[in-house]
Amino acid sequence: MKIALVLSSPPAYSETFFRSKIKGLQESGHIVVLITAATSETFEGCKHYYHPKVAKNVWVQVLQFLVVGLSLLPFCGRVVRYIRLERKEGTSLKRCIEKTYLNATLLKMKADWLHFGFATMAIDRELVAKAIGAKMAVSFRGFDIAIYPLKHPGCYTQLWKEVDKVHTISNDLLEKAYELGLPRTVPVQKITPAIDANFFTPESSGFSKSIESVRFLTVGRLHWKKGYVLMLEALAILKEKNIPFTYTIVGNGTKKEYERVAFAALQLGIKEEVFFAGQLERDAIKEQYQKADIYLQYSISEGFCNAVLEAQAMGKLCIVSNAEGLSENVLHGKTGWVVPKLEPKLLAEQIEHVIQLPEIEKKEITEYATDRVRDEFNIEKQQKEFVSFYLK
Protein backbone atom coordinates (compact mmCIF):
# COMPACT_ATOMS: atom_id res chain seq x y z
CA MET A 1 0.00 0.00 0.00
CA LYS A 2 1.23 3.49 -0.83
CA ILE A 3 0.35 6.44 1.40
CA ALA A 4 0.97 10.03 0.33
CA LEU A 5 1.24 12.27 3.38
CA VAL A 6 0.60 15.99 2.85
CA LEU A 7 2.12 18.43 5.35
CA SER A 8 2.96 22.12 5.30
CA SER A 9 6.65 21.43 5.91
CA PRO A 10 8.94 18.45 6.57
CA PRO A 11 8.70 17.11 10.16
CA ALA A 12 11.38 18.61 12.37
CA TYR A 13 13.64 16.35 14.39
CA SER A 14 11.54 17.00 17.50
CA GLU A 15 8.23 16.16 15.73
CA THR A 16 8.16 12.49 16.68
CA PHE A 17 4.46 12.19 15.82
CA PHE A 18 4.96 12.22 12.05
CA ARG A 19 8.42 10.68 12.07
CA SER A 20 7.32 7.65 14.09
CA LYS A 21 4.20 7.27 11.94
CA ILE A 22 6.23 7.18 8.73
CA LYS A 23 8.78 4.77 10.19
CA GLY A 24 6.10 2.44 11.56
CA LEU A 25 4.27 2.26 8.24
CA GLN A 26 7.51 1.55 6.38
CA GLU A 27 8.45 -1.21 8.81
CA SER A 28 5.05 -2.78 8.15
CA GLY A 29 5.80 -2.94 4.43
CA HIS A 30 3.96 0.16 3.23
CA ILE A 31 5.38 2.85 0.96
CA VAL A 32 5.16 6.41 2.30
CA VAL A 33 5.89 9.60 0.37
CA LEU A 34 5.83 13.12 1.76
CA ILE A 35 4.49 16.19 -0.06
CA THR A 36 5.12 19.67 1.35
CA ALA A 37 5.23 23.27 0.27
CA ALA A 38 8.27 24.29 -1.76
CA THR A 39 11.08 24.76 0.75
CA SER A 40 14.84 24.42 1.08
CA GLU A 41 14.26 21.91 3.88
CA THR A 42 14.53 18.22 3.07
CA PHE A 43 13.29 15.07 4.75
CA GLU A 44 15.42 11.96 4.83
CA GLY A 45 12.80 9.51 6.14
CA CYS A 46 11.09 8.86 2.77
CA LYS A 47 10.74 10.27 -0.73
CA HIS A 48 9.94 13.96 -0.47
CA TYR A 49 8.06 15.94 -3.13
CA TYR A 50 7.12 19.62 -3.25
CA HIS A 51 4.09 21.62 -4.37
CA PRO A 52 4.81 24.07 -7.21
CA LYS A 53 6.09 27.49 -6.15
CA VAL A 54 4.08 30.66 -6.52
CA ALA A 55 6.43 33.38 -7.77
CA LYS A 56 6.00 37.10 -7.17
CA ASN A 57 7.48 37.97 -10.54
CA VAL A 58 4.86 37.58 -13.27
CA TRP A 59 7.25 36.32 -15.95
CA VAL A 60 8.85 33.82 -13.60
CA GLN A 61 5.40 32.57 -12.71
CA VAL A 62 4.44 32.23 -16.40
CA LEU A 63 7.58 30.16 -17.00
CA GLN A 64 6.87 27.96 -13.99
CA PHE A 65 3.29 27.53 -15.15
CA LEU A 66 4.47 26.30 -18.55
CA VAL A 67 6.97 23.87 -17.00
CA VAL A 68 4.36 22.43 -14.64
CA GLY A 69 1.82 22.27 -17.46
CA LEU A 70 4.19 20.21 -19.61
CA SER A 71 4.87 17.86 -16.67
CA LEU A 72 1.12 17.19 -16.46
CA LEU A 73 0.76 16.10 -20.11
CA PRO A 74 1.23 12.37 -19.29
CA PHE A 75 -1.57 12.75 -16.73
CA CYS A 76 -4.16 14.42 -18.97
CA GLY A 77 -6.87 11.97 -17.93
CA ARG A 78 -6.48 12.89 -14.28
CA VAL A 79 -6.32 16.60 -15.01
CA VAL A 80 -9.51 16.49 -17.09
CA ARG A 81 -11.24 14.43 -14.39
CA TYR A 82 -10.14 16.89 -11.73
CA ILE A 83 -11.33 19.93 -13.66
CA ARG A 84 -14.69 18.27 -14.32
CA LEU A 85 -15.10 17.54 -10.61
CA GLU A 86 -14.26 21.14 -9.73
CA ARG A 87 -16.59 22.53 -12.41
CA LYS A 88 -19.37 20.32 -11.08
CA GLU A 89 -18.92 22.05 -7.71
CA GLY A 90 -19.24 25.46 -9.35
CA THR A 91 -15.55 26.38 -9.54
CA SER A 92 -14.78 28.95 -12.25
CA LEU A 93 -12.55 27.88 -15.13
CA LYS A 94 -9.89 30.39 -14.09
CA ARG A 95 -9.85 29.01 -10.55
CA CYS A 96 -9.76 25.45 -11.90
CA ILE A 97 -6.58 26.25 -13.82
CA GLU A 98 -5.03 27.86 -10.73
CA LYS A 99 -5.90 24.87 -8.55
CA THR A 100 -4.59 22.45 -11.16
CA TYR A 101 -1.23 24.24 -11.01
CA LEU A 102 -1.16 24.31 -7.20
CA ASN A 103 -2.13 20.62 -6.98
CA ALA A 104 0.06 19.41 -9.84
CA THR A 105 2.33 17.31 -7.62
CA LEU A 106 -0.65 15.52 -6.09
CA LEU A 107 -2.31 15.00 -9.49
CA LYS A 108 0.81 13.15 -10.65
CA MET A 109 0.90 10.99 -7.52
CA LYS A 110 0.07 7.29 -7.62
CA ALA A 111 -1.21 6.36 -4.16
CA ASP A 112 -3.83 4.30 -2.37
CA TRP A 113 -4.33 6.96 0.32
CA LEU A 114 -3.92 10.72 0.25
CA HIS A 115 -3.60 11.76 3.91
CA PHE A 116 -3.65 15.42 4.89
CA GLY A 117 -1.80 15.78 8.19
CA PHE A 118 -3.84 18.87 9.06
CA ALA A 119 -7.40 19.65 8.03
CA THR A 120 -6.36 23.08 6.75
CA MET A 121 -3.99 21.37 4.29
CA ALA A 122 -6.99 19.80 2.54
CA ILE A 123 -8.65 23.14 1.73
CA ASP A 124 -8.71 23.63 -2.08
CA ARG A 125 -7.50 20.02 -2.45
CA GLU A 126 -10.70 18.23 -1.49
CA LEU A 127 -11.29 16.69 -4.93
CA VAL A 128 -7.75 15.60 -5.76
CA ALA A 129 -8.00 12.16 -4.17
CA LYS A 130 -11.09 11.29 -6.20
CA ALA A 131 -9.38 12.54 -9.38
CA ILE A 132 -6.34 10.27 -8.88
CA GLY A 133 -8.37 7.28 -7.67
CA ALA A 134 -7.17 7.36 -4.05
CA LYS A 135 -8.97 7.41 -0.71
CA MET A 136 -8.70 10.59 1.33
CA ALA A 137 -7.88 10.79 5.03
CA VAL A 138 -7.47 13.87 7.21
CA SER A 139 -6.07 14.43 10.70
CA PHE A 140 -7.58 16.80 13.24
CA ARG A 141 -5.32 19.09 15.28
CA GLY A 142 -6.20 21.78 17.79
CA PHE A 143 -5.70 24.81 15.55
CA ASP A 144 -7.52 23.20 12.61
CA ILE A 145 -10.72 22.50 14.46
CA ALA A 146 -10.81 24.86 17.44
CA ILE A 147 -9.42 28.09 15.98
CA TYR A 148 -9.23 28.28 12.16
CA PRO A 149 -13.00 27.80 11.56
CA LEU A 150 -13.76 30.77 13.83
CA LYS A 151 -12.27 33.10 11.22
CA HIS A 152 -13.34 31.00 8.24
CA PRO A 153 -16.92 29.73 8.72
CA GLY A 154 -17.82 26.88 6.39
CA CYS A 155 -14.18 26.25 5.46
CA TYR A 156 -14.60 22.47 5.67
CA THR A 157 -17.98 22.09 3.94
CA GLN A 158 -16.42 20.52 0.84
CA LEU A 159 -13.98 18.45 2.87
CA TRP A 160 -16.79 16.82 4.88
CA LYS A 161 -18.40 15.65 1.63
CA GLU A 162 -15.25 14.05 0.26
CA VAL A 163 -13.24 12.64 3.18
CA ASP A 164 -13.17 8.82 3.48
CA LYS A 165 -11.71 8.54 6.99
CA VAL A 166 -10.79 10.84 9.86
CA HIS A 167 -7.95 10.62 12.35
CA THR A 168 -8.48 12.60 15.55
CA ILE A 169 -6.06 13.04 18.44
CA SER A 170 -8.83 13.59 20.98
CA ASN A 171 -12.55 13.02 21.49
CA ASP A 172 -13.11 16.71 22.15
CA LEU A 173 -11.76 17.71 18.74
CA LEU A 174 -14.00 15.12 17.10
CA GLU A 175 -17.07 16.54 18.83
CA LYS A 176 -16.10 20.01 17.67
CA ALA A 177 -15.78 18.67 14.12
CA TYR A 178 -19.30 17.23 14.35
CA GLU A 179 -20.49 20.69 15.42
CA LEU A 180 -18.76 22.08 12.32
CA GLY A 181 -20.74 19.71 10.12
CA LEU A 182 -18.70 16.50 9.86
CA PRO A 183 -21.22 13.70 9.16
CA ARG A 184 -21.29 11.08 11.92
CA THR A 185 -21.29 8.43 9.19
CA VAL A 186 -17.65 9.16 8.29
CA PRO A 187 -15.33 6.47 9.76
CA VAL A 188 -13.13 7.81 12.56
CA GLN A 189 -10.14 6.44 14.45
CA LYS A 190 -8.66 8.12 17.50
CA ILE A 191 -4.88 7.87 17.66
CA THR A 192 -3.33 10.06 20.33
CA PRO A 193 0.13 11.60 20.20
CA ALA A 194 2.92 9.49 21.66
CA ILE A 195 6.34 10.08 23.14
CA ASP A 196 9.61 8.22 23.51
CA ALA A 197 8.89 6.77 26.94
CA ASN A 198 12.34 5.19 27.02
CA PHE A 199 13.94 8.63 26.85
CA PHE A 200 11.62 10.62 29.10
CA THR A 201 12.06 8.63 32.29
CA PRO A 202 12.08 9.92 35.89
CA GLU A 203 15.37 9.89 37.74
CA SER A 204 13.86 10.91 41.09
CA SER A 205 10.61 12.23 42.54
CA GLY A 206 12.10 15.71 42.22
CA PHE A 207 9.56 17.52 44.40
CA SER A 208 11.03 20.00 46.81
CA LYS A 209 10.28 19.45 50.48
CA SER A 210 10.02 23.19 51.06
CA ILE A 211 7.47 25.40 49.34
CA GLU A 212 10.17 28.06 49.18
CA SER A 213 11.80 26.20 46.32
CA VAL A 214 8.74 25.26 44.23
CA ARG A 215 9.84 25.20 40.61
CA PHE A 216 7.23 25.58 37.87
CA LEU A 217 7.79 24.75 34.21
CA THR A 218 5.97 25.08 30.88
CA VAL A 219 7.33 23.84 27.54
CA GLY A 220 5.73 25.36 24.45
CA ARG A 221 6.06 28.15 21.93
CA LEU A 222 5.16 31.68 23.00
CA HIS A 223 1.64 31.98 21.65
CA TRP A 224 -1.58 33.45 23.05
CA LYS A 225 -3.35 30.08 22.94
CA LYS A 226 -0.85 28.60 25.40
CA GLY A 227 -2.27 30.81 28.17
CA TYR A 228 1.02 32.17 29.51
CA VAL A 229 -0.48 35.41 30.80
CA LEU A 230 -3.15 33.46 32.68
CA MET A 231 -0.47 31.31 34.31
CA LEU A 232 1.44 34.44 35.31
CA GLU A 233 -1.72 35.87 36.86
CA ALA A 234 -2.16 32.72 38.92
CA LEU A 235 1.47 32.76 40.03
CA ALA A 236 1.15 36.43 41.02
CA ILE A 237 -1.63 35.38 43.41
CA LEU A 238 0.74 32.86 44.98
CA LYS A 239 3.34 35.57 45.48
CA GLU A 240 0.76 37.71 47.26
CA LYS A 241 0.36 34.78 49.67
CA ASN A 242 4.12 34.72 50.24
CA ILE A 243 4.67 31.44 48.41
CA PRO A 244 8.03 31.92 46.68
CA PHE A 245 8.64 30.16 43.37
CA THR A 246 10.48 30.20 40.08
CA TYR A 247 8.79 29.73 36.71
CA THR A 248 10.74 28.62 33.65
CA ILE A 249 9.30 28.89 30.13
CA VAL A 250 10.96 26.76 27.44
CA GLY A 251 10.10 27.80 23.89
CA ASN A 252 10.47 30.54 21.32
CA GLY A 253 7.97 32.87 19.75
CA THR A 254 7.70 36.10 17.85
CA LYS A 255 9.13 39.27 19.36
CA LYS A 256 5.59 40.52 19.87
CA GLU A 257 4.57 37.42 21.82
CA TYR A 258 7.72 37.49 23.93
CA GLU A 259 7.17 41.15 24.79
CA ARG A 260 3.54 40.47 25.69
CA VAL A 261 4.44 37.71 28.18
CA ALA A 262 7.50 39.53 29.56
CA PHE A 263 5.49 42.74 30.07
CA ALA A 264 2.76 40.79 31.86
CA ALA A 265 5.37 39.37 34.25
CA LEU A 266 6.64 42.89 34.91
CA GLN A 267 3.16 44.34 35.47
CA LEU A 268 2.21 41.50 37.81
CA GLY A 269 5.32 42.00 39.90
CA ILE A 270 6.89 38.61 39.22
CA LYS A 271 9.56 39.56 36.70
CA GLU A 272 12.35 38.23 38.96
CA GLU A 273 10.64 34.84 39.29
CA VAL A 274 10.11 34.23 35.56
CA PHE A 275 12.87 32.84 33.32
CA PHE A 276 12.74 32.53 29.53
CA ALA A 277 14.94 29.60 28.51
CA GLY A 278 14.20 29.90 24.79
CA GLN A 279 14.21 26.95 22.41
CA LEU A 280 16.18 23.98 23.71
CA GLU A 281 17.30 20.63 22.33
CA ARG A 282 15.68 17.46 23.63
CA ASP A 283 18.39 16.64 26.17
CA ALA A 284 18.24 20.14 27.63
CA ILE A 285 14.43 19.97 27.82
CA LYS A 286 14.70 16.71 29.73
CA GLU A 287 16.99 18.47 32.23
CA GLN A 288 14.37 21.17 32.70
CA TYR A 289 11.70 18.55 33.40
CA GLN A 290 13.98 16.93 35.94
CA LYS A 291 14.53 20.21 37.80
CA ALA A 292 10.82 21.09 37.93
CA ASP A 293 8.36 20.33 40.72
CA ILE A 294 5.09 21.24 38.97
CA TYR A 295 4.37 21.36 35.26
CA LEU A 296 1.76 23.92 34.12
CA GLN A 297 -0.14 23.86 30.82
CA TYR A 298 -3.05 26.25 31.28
CA SER A 299 -3.82 26.58 27.58
CA ILE A 300 -6.78 28.42 26.09
CA SER A 301 -6.79 25.94 23.21
CA GLU A 302 -4.79 22.70 22.99
CA GLY A 303 -5.29 19.66 20.78
CA PHE A 304 -3.48 17.28 23.15
CA CYS A 305 0.09 18.47 23.98
CA ASN A 306 3.11 16.19 23.86
CA ALA A 307 4.91 18.26 26.49
CA VAL A 308 2.32 17.28 29.08
CA LEU A 309 2.89 13.61 28.22
CA GLU A 310 6.63 14.13 28.59
CA ALA A 311 6.19 15.84 31.95
CA GLN A 312 4.01 13.00 33.24
CA ALA A 313 6.52 10.43 31.98
CA MET A 314 9.21 12.32 33.89
CA GLY A 315 7.22 11.99 37.11
CA LYS A 316 6.17 15.63 37.37
CA LEU A 317 2.99 16.87 39.03
CA CYS A 318 0.92 18.29 36.16
CA ILE A 319 -1.80 20.94 36.31
CA VAL A 320 -3.56 21.71 33.03
CA SER A 321 -6.64 23.47 31.68
CA ASN A 322 -9.67 21.70 30.24
CA ALA A 323 -8.93 22.96 26.72
CA GLU A 324 -9.77 20.34 24.08
CA GLY A 325 -7.63 17.20 24.54
CA LEU A 326 -5.91 18.16 27.80
CA SER A 327 -8.64 16.58 29.93
CA GLU A 328 -7.95 13.29 28.10
CA ASN A 329 -4.22 13.74 28.43
CA VAL A 330 -4.43 14.26 32.22
CA LEU A 331 -7.01 12.43 34.34
CA HIS A 332 -8.18 14.82 37.03
CA GLY A 333 -7.22 13.67 40.49
CA LYS A 334 -5.54 10.53 39.13
CA THR A 335 -2.60 11.54 36.97
CA GLY A 336 -2.72 15.28 37.62
CA TRP A 337 -5.31 18.04 37.84
CA VAL A 338 -7.58 19.70 35.29
CA VAL A 339 -8.74 23.28 35.95
CA PRO A 340 -11.43 25.13 33.96
CA LYS A 341 -9.69 27.42 31.50
CA LEU A 342 -9.64 31.22 31.72
CA GLU A 343 -9.93 31.12 35.52
CA PRO A 344 -6.50 32.09 36.94
CA LYS A 345 -7.88 32.32 40.49
CA LEU A 346 -9.01 28.69 40.27
CA LEU A 347 -5.61 27.76 38.89
CA ALA A 348 -3.89 29.48 41.81
CA GLU A 349 -6.13 27.62 44.26
CA GLN A 350 -5.34 24.29 42.61
CA ILE A 351 -1.61 24.99 42.66
CA GLU A 352 -1.73 25.85 46.36
CA HIS A 353 -3.69 22.67 47.05
CA VAL A 354 -1.14 20.54 45.17
CA ILE A 355 1.80 22.15 46.99
CA GLN A 356 0.24 21.26 50.33
CA LEU A 357 -0.53 17.63 49.48
CA PRO A 358 1.22 14.96 51.56
CA GLU A 359 4.28 13.50 49.85
CA ILE A 360 2.68 10.05 49.65
CA GLU A 361 -0.25 11.44 47.62
CA LYS A 362 2.10 13.27 45.28
CA LYS A 363 4.02 10.05 44.75
CA GLU A 364 0.85 8.05 44.00
CA ILE A 365 -0.24 10.62 41.40
CA THR A 366 3.11 10.77 39.62
CA GLU A 367 3.64 7.01 39.61
CA TYR A 368 0.20 6.38 38.13
CA ALA A 369 0.80 9.10 35.51
CA THR A 370 4.18 7.67 34.56
CA ASP A 371 2.79 4.15 34.19
CA ARG A 372 -0.18 5.36 32.15
CA VAL A 373 1.97 7.32 29.70
CA ARG A 374 4.33 4.37 29.30
CA ASP A 375 1.43 1.95 28.65
CA GLU A 376 -0.96 4.09 26.57
CA PHE A 377 1.11 6.79 24.86
CA ASN A 378 4.20 4.98 23.62
CA ILE A 379 5.42 5.19 20.04
CA GLU A 380 5.15 1.45 19.38
CA LYS A 381 1.42 1.46 20.20
CA GLN A 382 0.86 4.53 18.02
CA GLN A 383 2.66 2.93 15.07
CA LYS A 384 0.46 -0.18 15.24
CA GLU A 385 -2.67 1.99 15.34
CA PHE A 386 -1.65 3.88 12.22
CA VAL A 387 -1.01 0.63 10.36
CA SER A 388 -4.55 -0.48 11.22
CA PHE A 389 -5.94 2.94 10.22
CA TYR A 390 -5.39 2.29 6.51
CA LEU A 391 -6.51 -1.33 6.61
CA LYS A 392 -9.97 -0.87 8.08
pLDDT at 14: 58
Q: Which of 31-45, 156-170, 191-205 has the lowest mean pLDDT?
A: 191-205
The yes-or-no verdict on residue 15 having pLDDT over 70 is no
Instruction: Give pLDDT, residue 44.
Output: 84
pLDDT in tens, 314-342: 999 999 999 988 999 999 999 999 999 99
- Residues 38, 91 within the same domain: yes
User: Could you tell me if 154 and 234 lie in one domain?
Assistant: no
Q: What is the CATH number of the domain that holds 89?
A: 3.40.50.2000
Q: How many domains does the chain have?
A: 2
CA–CA dist 224, 206 (Å, integer): 29
Indicate if 242 and 152 belong to the same structural domain: no
pLDDT class of 38 with cuts at 50, 70, 90 = confident
Tell whether 306 and 185 lie within a shared domain.
Answer: no
- 247's CB contacts (< 8 A; 6+ apart) are 216, 217, 218, 231, 232, 235, 270, 273, 274, 275, 296
Instruction: Say yes or no: 266 and 369 in one domain.
Output: yes
Average pLDDT over residues 209-219: 77
CA 112 to CA 136: how far, in whole Å?
A: 9
Check residue 85 and give its pLDDT. Answer: 95
Res 367 pLDDT > 60: yes
* Residue 208, pLDDT above cutoff 80: no
Over residues 358-380, the mean pLDDT reads 91
Residue 135 domain flag:
yes
The answer to whether residues 223 and 253 touch, using CB atoms and an 8 Å cutoff, is: yes
Query: 265-321 pLDDT, tens per residue?
Result: 999 999 999 999 988 888 899 999 999 999 999 999 888 888 999 999 999 999 999
Same domain for 139 and 227, yes or no, is: no
CB neighbour class for 160 (10 Å; exposed up to 12, middle 13-18, buried from 19): middle
Which of these ranges, 103-117, 206-220, 229-243, 374-388, has the smallest mean pLDDT?
A: 206-220
Checking if the pLDDT of 246 tops 90, the result is yes
Are both 253 and 351 inside the same structural domain?
Answer: yes
Tell me the residue range of the domain where 361 lies.
211-376
Asked whether the predicted pLDDT for residue 13 surpasses 80, the reply is: no
Residue 239, in any domain of the structure: yes
